[in-house]
């Protein structure tokens, strides 16, 4: 079965702290794609990153970084020096190969960054 698990329901940090959001996925496919989306309080879903299963290189974009480890089926997201504007719900998602392009979302992690 294909599944995405975000075990952390809510995380609360103080500004400037580093925070890691965990994502564990399940699939038997060898080709798949992993995503992170951000949903701020305004409600829209904002695309952050896409990774395919053959590219295990970690990625850094400003204060954001992602760690993809196939050995543990994890695709974790770290925010360095968090800011109040990072407060949002973050979703990890999976697309399998084979023509079905549906995003399989995790339940999301609500991040609250306090000043």
Partner 1 sequence: DSGVTQTPKHLITATGQRVTLRCSPRSGDLSVYWYQQSLDQGLQFLIQYYNGEERAKGNILERFSAQQFPDLHSELNLSSLELGDSALYFCASSALTGGNEQFFGPGTRLTVL
Q: Give the helix/strand (H/E) hosting 37.
A: strand 32-39
105 bridge partner residues: 93
Minimal distance, residue 102 CB to partner 1, in Å: 4
- Angle (nearest 5°) at CA 82 between 50 and 46: 35
What CA–CA distance (Å, rounded) separates 86 from 19?
Answer: 11
Q: Is 111 exposed, middle or buried (0-12, 13-18, 19+ CB in 10 A)?
A: buried
Stretch that binds partner 1, among 11-19, 56-64, 70-78, 96-104 (CB under 8 A): 96-104
Q: Which residue has the tokens 């305004």?
A: 42
Taking the complex as a whole, the smallest distance from the CB of residue 14 to partner 1 amounts, in Å, to 28
Check binding of 90 to partner 1 (CB under 8 A). no
With CB under 8 A as the contact rule, which of the stretches 17-25, 56-64, 69-77, 102-110 interacts with partner 1?
102-110
Establish if 19 lies at the interface with partner 1 (CB under 8 A). Answer: no
The site for partner 1 (CB under 8 A) is made up of 32-33, 35, 37, 43-47, 50, 52, 91, 93, 95, 97, 99-105, 107-108
């Amino acid at each position: 079965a294909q599944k995405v698990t975000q075990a952390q329901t809510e995380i609360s940090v103080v500004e400037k702290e580093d925070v890691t959001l965990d994502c564990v996925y399940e699939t038997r496919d060898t080709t798949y794609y992993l995503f992170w989306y951000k949903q701020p309080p305004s409600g829209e879903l904002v695309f952050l990153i896409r990774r395919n299963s053959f590219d295990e290189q970690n990625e850094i974009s400003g204060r954001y970084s992602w760690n993809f480890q196939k050995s543990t089926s994890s695709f974790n997201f770290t925010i360095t020096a968090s800011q109040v504007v990072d407060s949002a719900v973050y979703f990890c998602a999976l697309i399998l190969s084979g023509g079905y392009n549906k995003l399989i979302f995790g339940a999301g992690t609500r991040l609250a960054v306090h000043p």
